[in-house]
Amino acid sequence: AAMAEGEGLLSVDYEVSGKVQGVFFRKYTQGEAKRLGLVGWVQNTSHGTVQGQIQGPPARVRELQEWLRKIGSPQSRISRAEFSNEKKIAALEHKDFQILK
């Protein structure tokens, strides 16, 4: 594919399963997202996963996806990271990257 991915913004939803609650996963995700200059949110779900949304330049979004899939917070154990609703957006829909309660 041609590398025309330089421009534009991407939005993608994610859900991470495994040992991801009570291990500062949200805090680390927020830190990583901010480091990459991404916006969105992260929250714990009632069924033991962490979910959220990432928005930003495609290459940076891919980096965070990879981080969510493989790294996470130091104490976490990720069994699965699922991504959905991927779409191009004209403008960012969030001001920053927030931890939602």
Active site residues: 26, 44
Any idea which residue has 């957006």 for tokens? Answer: 89
If residue 40 lies in a helix (H) or strand (E), which one and from where to where? strand 39-44
- What count of Cα atoms within 13 Å lies in the side-chain half-sphere of residue 101? 0
